[in-house]
Amino acid sequence: MKLSAVILAAGRGKRMKSRTPKILHEALGRPMLRYVIDAVSTLKPAKTVVVIGNGADEVRGRISDGHLTFVLQKELLGTGDAVAIARKELLKGTVLVLNGDCPLITAATLKSLLARHKRSRNVLSFLSFVDESMSGYGRIIRDSSGRVTDIVEDKHASALQKNMFKELNGGVYVIESEALAYLDKIKKNNSSGEYYLTDIIGIISGAGKRLDAYLCPSEEIRGVNSREELYEISVILQKRVISGWMQKGVTFIGPETTHVHVSARIGRDTVIYPNTYIEGSTSIGNNCTIYPGSRICDSVLGNGVIIKDNTLIEKSRIHDGSSIGPCAHLRPESVIGRNAKIGNFVEVKKSNIGAGTKAGHLTYLGDAEIGPGVNIGAGTITCNYDGKNKFRTIIKSGVFIGSDTQLVAPVRINKDAYVAAGSTITRDVPSGSLAISRGRQRNLEDWTKRREGDMSKEPGVKGKRKKAVDK
């Protein structure tokens, strides 16, 4: 018998108060719907149908992966209507139906629900949980013999029902495909105008068919209907992700304030300090140290890399043994060679920095190709932009750039050349030479004394002028 899956993702998500469809809201950098799809796909269903409606194009655009079938629910008439629309796409066999707003569900729980469903020869099985702190869920009604007879939505439940029935509906169901015919018997709810999928429980139970609810940890079943709930599930997911990395040998000094996206990778014996964000497809090697306040997005760090406090790294690659920061910014397409040093308040953009090269302080390196063993003095700036176009600066190996230098691109500093501090370099510098371009220094002797004595005799104003001495 084949397994098909239906994921309900058409709803408005009114309680999120957002223009973005609810199930595209992200937890740890991934839309919540993606978590549900990933958990389902580990069961290898023959077909996975996603019911979309609100923001359908946006959802399809973000979620399509070639394995999903999308069906459109034009009018949002409730979860029962959503499954009825998906029905034409489903295969004969067993059908797994899940709400798209429960990102904490695990493949293990889905597998065990399927196994119990098969073992009990049920027509319908679903997940339940007990957690007095959670509200807004359907309540499972059981008769005196413990048999499930109905689900009553929280907003329609009487005080007596709320008091008597503490088992709640998790919104994850396994149904034999023949029983989907009972969907036609669901009536529109008078007060909400919706067809509730949950009404199928009362209908199947009333028809004397086998069905049951199985308890699972409430943590897994939490639906996200509001921003508070999105935060709560993000905290749980973050704990799962961070403990996963701890088990693989990563140290976290302050895990409560550390954010690691699910897609990020971290190597053994790396130490992560508090208030750091490790985002997107970032991969961090072994023995790295990430000091507090840094954000690393979609970047690759080799082994033994040190990221000092308050550093931002975007779409860059840092090779083994390099040190970046404090307060540095690597903008996209920066590649830092082995054992290089990018220091305090240094910004690098779309540049290659050679092995062992150092740019320690207050520097901007943009559109630059810098060889190995180069020393970039404090305050160096590559002037890469003339207001219209960007140009490249090339610095070959062994070059020494003195402090407070402007390199007006396009320009090339050849191997082992020196540039004197305070120079503005507009022409290429030949290999092994010293380039110096700055006004000669003049020392005006006794200038202070003369200025204090008689301002009118100040050189260049009036009176006797004392010869300037060049040094």
In the Cβ-directed half-sphere of 310, how many Cα atoms lie within 13 Å? 5
Q: 217: cis peptide before it, omega within 30°?
A: no
21 φ/ψ angles, rounded to the nearest 5 degrees: -55, 140
Which listed range, 35-43, 216-224, 265-273, 403-411, lies at the site for Mg ion (CB under 5 A)? 216-224
- Residues facing 401 on adjacent strands: 376, 419
In the Cβ-directed half-sphere of 158, how many Cα atoms lie within 13 Å? 4
Q: How far apart are CA 336 and CA 323, in angstroms?
A: 9
Residue 468 tokens read as 């300037």
Minimum CB separation of residue 79 from Mg ion in Å reads 9
Q: Which of 4, 48, 79, 218 binds ligand UD1 (CB under 6 A)?
A: 79
Q: Is 117 a catalytic residue?
A: no
Contact flag: residue 337 with ligand UD1 (CB under 6 A): no
Per-residue b/e over 397-427, b at no fewer than 16 CB within 10 Å? Answer: bbbbbbbbbbbbbebbbbeebbbbbbbebee
Helix (H/G/I), strand (E/B), else coil: 60: helix
Contact flag: residue 78 with ligand UD1 (CB under 6 A): yes
Residue 91 tokens read as 């295969």
Contact flag: residue 128 with ligand UD1 (CB under 6 A): no
Contact flag: residue 100 with ligand UD1 (CB under 6 A): yes
What does DSSP assign to residue 458?
A: S
Q: How far apart are CA 91 and CA 4, in angstroms?
A: 6
**Strand order, beta sheet including 271-272:** 251-252, 271-272, 289-290, 306-307, 323-324, 341-344, 358-361, 375-376, 400-401, 418-419, 434-435
Q: Which of 18, 69, 149, 225 binds ligand UD1 (CB under 6 A)?
A: 225
Minimum CB separation of residue 100 from Mg ion in Å reads 9
Q: How far apart are CA 469 and CA 114, in angstroms?
A: 93
Contact flag: residue 311 with ligand UD1 (CB under 6 A): no
Residue with smaller CB distance to ligand UD1, 173 or 418: 173
174's contact among ligand UD1, Mg ion, none, with CB below 5 to 8 A by partner kind, is: none
* Residues 189 to 208 in contact with ligand UD1, rule: CB under 6 A: 196-198
Q: Which of 55, 171, 255, 402 binds ligand UD1 (CB under 6 A)?
A: 171
Residue with smaller CB distance to ligand UD1, 82 or 266: 82
Q: How far apart are CA 316 and CA 340, in angstroms?
A: 14
* Residues 17 to 56 in contact with ligand UD1, rule: CB under 6 A: 23, 51, 53
Residue 92 tokens read as 């004969």
Contact flag: residue 180 with ligand UD1 (CB under 6 A): no
Contact flag: residue 11 with ligand UD1 (CB under 6 A): yes
Minimum CB separation of residue 25 from ligand UD1 in Å reads 11
Residue with smaller CB distance to ligand UD1, 153 or 279: 153
Contact flag: residue 223 with ligand UD1 (CB under 6 A): yes
Residue of 259, 261, 329, 361 marked active site? 361
Contact flag: residue 373 with ligand UD1 (CB under 6 A): no
Residues that bind Mg ion (CB under 5 A): 101, 223, 225
- Which residues here bind ligand UD1, judged by CB under 6 A? 8-11, 23, 51, 53, 73, 76-79, 81-82, 99-102, 137-138, 151, 153, 168-171, 196-198, 223, 225
The residues carrying an active-site annotation are 361
